[in-house]
């Protein structure tokens, strides 16, 4: 959906009103302000403070508070206690994960609408499967997940868990019938509609569908989008049972933390983002064709180095080209998590820390990544792939790119430790030929 200038202005006016109302209620810190707003992104809240300060509707001291670091919390992030670690989220997957509190709330809500030993299908919500395994949960949980990295990780950690790799928007669905389906689609209209259609194919009549929805302050036009989603749900034979606003908190992934830090926003809670919980019942059967979802823009190949996920766009290696990483943005961190950012199209290499780069020799770079992940010599790996020795200049370029990767992995390992999923403190080292 294209957002018009009029919609943007109406949205900014709404944000300004929400901010003024919050300040009138006594909210003073930026952390509290963001938490009080209906899903407004922190940088948009900051822009609102700037507008209000420029028109003297608020004191400049309120704006200054936005840049003060948040007070340290006495406890570590809730993810740090998990015995079943999940791969670090990658921004290309639109992967935000529920907080432990949200997971517990969803499992409790599922228990209310199901019976012992009923099947509950989870669409793109691996954190629910993990907690359902860790804590005795008298339901049969089945996870459908598009990410091969996540399904492989879970299969290795908990072989008995039922995990199915499936892109539920495009691929054939497995033969399953569930009393409840929980879904957390990317917060875009076509994704939400596609996930709801899939949920209906898997949910029994009389069953329930629980979905996390973007709050009204997520972006311009959300009221209109919600109306379209409700209309689509009715076409699918769904009846809205209840809507709990801001009921589901998320833990900010490393890639979004890096975006906020790059914008100078350190005074933001790790669980600032909230989704609305919509619960539908599948009240009657309909025959609605599967919605057409745009094909993936590009193909990416992923390699994981000590927990850091690095993707390379459409790599090929017909001949040698310089594999060095070329900076695209200041500091290398893309200061956005929105798919509408035009700079996304420039990226040839994308890390789980939201660092993006251009790269001429993507195929050569992929060989370097694979060699480093396996503890092999990157020089030998590239030479074997090219079926010839490298000359001196090519060797220098491979060495430069490999060192760039080692430095990035070292940096993002430290960032991932704060997220709590990363357990490996091993350092990468180059293996010379």
Q: What is the pLDDT of residue 65?
A: 74
> Which single residue is written with the structure tokens 């996540």?
150
3-state class of 206 per DSSP?
strand
- Looking at residue 248, its pLDDT comes to 97
Q: How confident is the model at residue 302 (pLDDT cuts 50, 70, 90)?
A: very high
Predicted confidence band at 388 (pLDDT cuts at 50, 70, 90)?
A: very high
For the cut 80, the answer to whether the pLDDT of residue 125 exceeds it is yes
Q: What is the pLDDT of residues 332-368, one digit of tens each?
A: 999 999 888 889 999 999 999 999 999 999 999 999 9
Domain boundaries, given as residue ranges, for the chain? 5-67, 82-282, 300-419
pTM tops 0.85: yes
More confident residue, 321 or 76: 321
Whether the Cβ atoms of residue 376 and residue 428 lie closer than 8 Å to each other:
no
Instruction: Give ∠ CA 69-72-131 in degrees, rounded to 5.
Output: 120
Q: How confident is the model at residue 298 (pLDDT cuts 50, 70, 90)?
A: confident
Query: Residues of the chain with pLDDT > 90: what percent?
Result: 77
Give 155-197 pLDDT, tens digit per residue.
999 988 999 999 999 999 999 999 999 999 999 999 999 999 9
Output the pLDDT for position 296. Answer: 60
In 329-426, DSSP assigns E strands to: 349-351, 356-358
As a residue count, the chain comes to 433
Q: Is the pLDDT of residue 131 over 80?
A: yes
**Strand pairing of 326-327 and 349-351?**
unpaired
Is 181 strand, coil or helix? strand
Please give the pLDDT value at position 357.
98
pLDDT at 106: 98
82-282: CATH number = 3.40.50.150
What confidence tier does 69 reach under pLDDT thresholds 50, 70, 90?
low
What does the pLDDT read at residue 92? 94
- For tokens 């993507």, the residue is 362
Q: Is 293 exposed, middle or buried (0-12, 13-18, 19+ CB in 10 A)?
A: middle
Section 264-283 average pLDDT = 92
Residue 33's pLDDT band, with cuts at 50, 70 and 90, is: very high
Write the pLDDT tens digit of every residue in 398-421.
999 999 999 999 999 998 886 665
How do residues 209-252 score in pLDDT, each as one tens digit? 999 999 999 999 999 999 999 999 999 999 999 999 999 999 99
Q: How far apart are CA 34 and CA 274, in angstroms?
A: 10
Q: What is the pLDDT of residue 421?
A: 58
Residue of 128, 79, 136, 123 lying closest to 107 (CA atoms): 128
Residue with more model confidence, 267 or 239: 239
Closest CA to 113 of 180, 178, 177: 180
Query: Across-strand partners of 144?
Result: 123, 164
| Among the ranges given (295-304, 379-388, 417-426), the one the predictor scored with the smallest mean pLDDT | 417-426
Q: Pull the structure tokens for residue 416.
A: 């991932």
């Amino acid at each position: 959906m294209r957002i018009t200038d009029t919609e943007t202005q109406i949205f900014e006016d709404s944000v300004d009103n929400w901010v003024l109302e919050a300040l009138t209620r006594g909210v003073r810190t930026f952390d509290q302000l963001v938490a009080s707003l209906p899903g407004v992104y922190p940088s948009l809240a900051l822009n609102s403070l700037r507008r209000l300060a420029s028109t003297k509707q608020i004191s400049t001291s309120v704006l200054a508070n936005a840049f003060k670091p948040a007070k340290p919390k006495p406890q570590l992030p809730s993810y740090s206690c998990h015995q079943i670690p999940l791969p670090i989220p990658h921004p290309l997957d639109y992967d935000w994960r529920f907080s432990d509190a949200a997971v517990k709330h969803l499992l409790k809500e599922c228990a209310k609408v199901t019976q012992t030993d009923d099947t509950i299908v989870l669409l793109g919500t691996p954190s629910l499967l993990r907690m359902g395994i860790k804590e005795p949960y008298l339901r049969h949980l089945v996870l459908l997940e598009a990410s091969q990295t996540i399904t492989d990780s879970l299969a290795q950690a908990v072989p008995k868990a039922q995990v199915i790799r499936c892109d539920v928007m495009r691929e054939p669905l497995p033969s399953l019938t569930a009393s409840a389906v929980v879904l957390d689609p990317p917060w875009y209209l076509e994704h939400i509609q596609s996930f709801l259609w899939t949920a209906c194919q898997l949910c029994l009549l009389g069953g329930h569908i629980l979905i996390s929805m973007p709050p009204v302050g997520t972006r311009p036009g959300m009221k209109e989008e919600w109306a379209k989603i409700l209309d689509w749900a009715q076409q699918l034979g769904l009846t809205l049972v209840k809507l709990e606003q801001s009921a589901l908190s998320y833990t900010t992934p490393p890639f979004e933390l890096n975006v906020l830090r790059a914008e100078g926003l350190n005074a933001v809670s790790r669980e600032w983002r909230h989704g609305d919980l919509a619960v539908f019942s599948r009240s009657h059967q309909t025959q609605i064709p599967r919605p057409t979802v745009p094909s993936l823009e590009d193909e990416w190949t992923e390699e994981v180095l000590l927990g850091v996920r690095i993707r390379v766009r459409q790599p090929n290696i017909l001949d040698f080209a310089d594999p060095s990483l070329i900076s695209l943005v200041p500091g290398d961190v893309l200061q956005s998590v929105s798919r509408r950012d035009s700079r996304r199209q420039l990226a040839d290499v994308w890390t789980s820390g939201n660092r993006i780069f251009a790269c001429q020799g993507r195929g050569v770079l992929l060989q370097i990544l694979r060699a480093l992940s396996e503890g092999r010599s990157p020089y030998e790996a590239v030479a074997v792939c090219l079926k010839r020795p490298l000359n001196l200049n090519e060797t220098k370029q491979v060495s430069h790119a490999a060192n760039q990767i080692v430095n990035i992995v070292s940096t993002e390992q430290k960032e991932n430790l704060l997220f709590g999923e990363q357990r490996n403190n091993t350092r990468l080292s180059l293996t010379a030929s």
